[in-house]
Amino acid sequence: MKGFAYRRVKNDARDAADLADLLRMGRLPEAYIATPAERELRELVRYRAKLVALRSGLKAQVHATLAKQGHLPQASDLFGAAGMTWLREAPLELVFRQRIDSLLELIDAYDGEIDLFRRMIANRLAGHRGYRVIQQLSGVGPTFAAVFVAEIGDIGRFSRPEKLCCWAGLTPRHRESDTTVRRGPITKQGSKLVRWAAIEAVQHVRSGTKLAADRSRLITTRGRNVGVVAAARRLLTLVYYGLRDGEIRALARGAA
């Protein structure tokens, strides 16, 4: 609507007239309404993502508390087996030790809830063919695959992969007038989770695959940020075909 009408006076009568004109011309924007099953799956996926974010905040507090005592973790993964052993033996003042212990108890509680919702999501998607197929892509595990399936919903509403990438906000802004063309940063519209999952997944693609080679080449020629986003669009294109066709033929040809 903002792109359709520019006027000094705005009221309900004129808004209704504009909507009627758009409907008459067949240009009234439509919104996709997810099915009850899709909304339930989205709720599970989004809540699990929220729990993970909260747990990450708790882990950051542990690092901050250690920094206050001037301690640098001796393990690369503070919350792994070696890191937890070092953390329990670290010499801390009483108040800081109590805070660390409290944070670790909360982290354990979040671990249990996150694992519970992970199993619930896996059970709901056990018979979903597209969910299994897109996990064949390097960098896409059960978590990212669940995000793609839940947030995208009915893949049939996108006629081609470019529309999916545009909906996910991974395409650059385009402003063109006569011979002047300006392309800006990506729009960042649509699902934040899909955009995050695509960008994270493409950064975990194993070396030796075509997607990894494309990512390295794009980073070299366009810079890291632009290159990663461009590679994420290519990954999301493969996700589109996996969800639509139930197979990714590029994988069979070794082209992904």
Domain boundaries, the chain: 36-124, 131-174+185-252
> What percentage of the chain carries pLDDT values higher than 70?
96
Distances (CA, A) of 86 to 104, 123, 188: 13, 37, 41
Task: Decide: helix, strand or coil at residue 249.
Answer: helix
Q: What is the predicted pLDDT for the residue at 2? A: 65
Residue (of 120, 101, 148, 158) closest to 40 by Cα position: 120
Burial class of residue 7 in the structure, from the number of CB atoms within 10 Å of its CB (0-12 exposed, 13-18 middle, 19+ buried): exposed
**Phi, psi angle pair for 41, to nearest 5°:** -65, -40
Q: What is the predicted pLDDT for the residue at 255? A: 63
pLDDT tens, position by position, 78-95: 999 999 999 988 999 999
Q: Give the pLDDT band of residue 200 (cuts 50, 70, 90).
A: very high
pLDDT tens, position by position, 237-249: 999 999 999 998 8
Please tell me the distance from the alpha carbon of residue 120 to that of residue 93, in angstroms, as a whole number: 41
